[in-house]
Amino acid sequence: MNTKRILTTAIAATTCVMTMNAQPKLSPTNIDEVLKAMTLEEKAKLLVGGANNFFGDQAAVGGEADLVAGAAGTSPAIPRLGIPATVLTDGPAGVRIDPTRKGTSQTYYATGFPIGTCLASTWNTELVGKVGEAIGNETKEYRCDVILGPGMNLHRNPLCGRNFEYYTLKTRC
């Protein structure tokens, strides 16, 4: 009877290990396969973001903000599928982060660029391209993955609170 129990346990353990090893790891060529392997909870966590812990015993805002202080948010890592955490930063006028971080006396300076309406009014596409490149470089340098800006829109309503930051063609009301 002990032999049968040991054999059953060994088969179950082997099956478990094989299942764990069979999980796809994210790459540019297997996104659909990884999506199918994700649980519903993992998909929801990517939509909600890492800063909102709605799935734990103590649901509260806050969480992975330590990755980059002052960043707009994060998406959680899913290590079993090779999905890294991503850091989002607000940025219609450049990278927005806290200038100081825990554990270091270094100051992290980010450039404040003119907003989109101002840049668009120059009609200088070369200048706008250089600003975009500089924002991209700072985003990468400060370990952020996604910048939430700049934006482009028509000014259809003067009450829109984000009109100031858009690259735009103004329209008549």
The CA-to-CA distance between both ends of the chain, in Å, stands at 85
Of the chain, the percentage scoring pLDDT greater than 70 comes to 76
Tell me what pLDDT residue 35 has: 93
Gap between the Cα atoms of 126 and 132, Å rounded: 10
Which residue type sits at 166?
Y
Strand 151-152 with 146-148, pairing:
unpaired
User: 58 pLDDT exceeds 70?
Assistant: no
Neighbouring C-alpha atoms within 13 Å toward the C-beta of 46: 12
36-58 burial, b if ≥16 CB within 10 A, otherwise e?
A: ebbeeebeebeeebbbbbeeeee
Give the SS3 label for residue 91.
coil
pLDDT digits (tens, 9 = 90+) for 103-150: 889 998 889 999 888 888 899 999 999 999 999 999 999 889 988 888
Confidence class of residue 73 from pLDDT cuts 50, 70 and 90?
confident
What secondary structure does DSSP assign to 31-54, as a single string?
Answer: HHHHHHHS-HHHHHHHHH-TTEE-
